[in-house]
Amino acid sequence: MVLIKAAICGAGGGIGQPLSLLTAQNPHIGEVSLFDVVPSVHGVAADLSHLDGTAVVKGYTKENDGLKHALTGANVVIIPAGVPRKPGMTRDDLFKINASICRDLATGIADYAPDAIVGVVSNPVNSTVPVFVETLKAKGVFNARKVFGVTTLDIVRSSKFVAEVLGKPNEAPQYTIPVIGGHSGKTIIPVISQSQPKVDISGDKLNTLVNRIQFGGDEVVKAKDGAGSATLSMAYAGSKFLNAVVSSVYADKPSVIQAYVYLPELPGGDAIKNDIGKDVSYFSVSLQLGKSGVEKVLPVGPLSDYEKGLLQEALPELDASIVKGVGFGKSSL
């Protein structure tokens, strides 16, 4: 296969650096461009350029048309740019700063990499993805098959925490648990009833488990005590996302992932409102990936009564976050 180009925007940060390290190890990637507003990104690029993998690694800041050079020709762009949470903050508190960053980067993608697959990591994902979508729409280059909010960390946490509850932490990779909804607190809905292999967890144990998955990020924010939020586990999750997308789109290996997408313009997207009983424009759901990006939105599948309850709790918050992101995206153009 032809080697592709990946760009990481926010590559000098806590997530960006390890994500760039992992991206540079993907054998399908021939070039990784690292973009950040801080000059230290050049050091990160110099460091990673010595790896003996297939990828050539280059660093860019805003100087000398850096964003243009970083994005031109990129097949995949991952965005961990922006501020992370501090103790006591919700993801929503980040919106003011990160929404503008996302709008500016989306404008750059529209101008220099309009066909790229985009993975938005910057929080609050429930709102920043709508900012991306509205910006790309306004520039006339939006393709719903190619824009994703990265929710993989919720899936990674689900596998690990379920395995821990079962007293088998070493067996985490064996548990596949779909996570639907959004990427923030109560909007994160782990569908434990669809776990593969099946698990039997109920009552208080289930409540505690679900709460831990929904608020797992807070454990890290608290433990880092002011020094940021999850970075290494997010880089690991971001790399899983990127590897699945690259293999599906460029290496003829279709896969199923869950990510937060814009439903109205996706095949199968319309059916989700029947599955969840509400017409939402954005939702994290299972996606069949193939050569064109999202080939099909897959049904939510049967939910337990408990999970239906989680869904009812999630929808108002999700709705409000979407309205906020769409409003910002439309008004600031």
The answer to whether residue 160 forms part of the interface with ligand NAI (CB under 6 A) is no
Q: Which of 34, 71, 121, 180 binds ligand NAI (CB under 6 A)?
A: 121
> Between residues 20 and 98, which has the closer beta carbon with respect to ligand NAI?
98
Residues 5-24 interacting with ligand NAI (rule: CB under 6 A): 9-10, 12-16
* Burial call 98-123: b when 16+ CB within 10 Å, e when fewer: bbebbbbbbbbbbebbeebbbbbbbb
Do the bridges between strand 76-79 and strand 4-9 make them parallel or antiparallel, or are there none, so unpaired?
Answer: parallel
Nearer to ligand NAI, 231 or 281 (CB): 231
Q: What angle do CA 77, 65, 99 make, to 5 degrees?
A: 50
How far is 254 from 20, CA to CA, in rounded Å?
A: 24
Question: How many residues bind ligand NAI, per CB under 6 A?
Answer: 34
110, 254 Cβ separation under 8 angstroms: no
- The residue from 103, 146, 160, 183 that contacts ligand NAI (CB under 6 A) is 183
Q: Which positions are annotated as active-site residues?
A: 183
Q: Rounded to an integer, what distance in angstroms lies between the CA atom of residue 318 and that of residue 115?
A: 28
Is position 277 annotated in a ligand binding site?
no
Measured distance CA(296)–CA(279) in Å, rounded: 18
Segment 222-261, which members bind ligand NAI (CB under 6 A)?
Answer: 228-231, 234
| 123 contacts ligand NAI (rule: CB under 6 A) | yes
Task: State CA 76 to chain mean position distance.
Answer: 13
| CB proximity list for 97: less than 8 A, separation 6 or greater | 82, 83
Evaluate whether 105 touches 8 at the Cβ level (below 8 Å).
Answer: no
Q: Does 287 bind ligand NAI (CB under 6 A)?
A: no
Binding to ligand NAI, residues 26-45 (CB under 6 A): 35-38
Closest residue (Cβ) to ligand NAI?
A: 13
Least distance in Å: CB of 63 to ligand NAI?
Answer: 13
Segment contacting ligand NAI (CB under 6 A): 23-31, 82-90, 137-145, 316-324? 82-90
Give the footprint of ligand NAI on this chain (CB under 6 A): 9-10, 12-16, 35-38, 80-85, 94, 98, 101, 104-105, 121-123, 125, 150, 153, 183, 228-231, 234
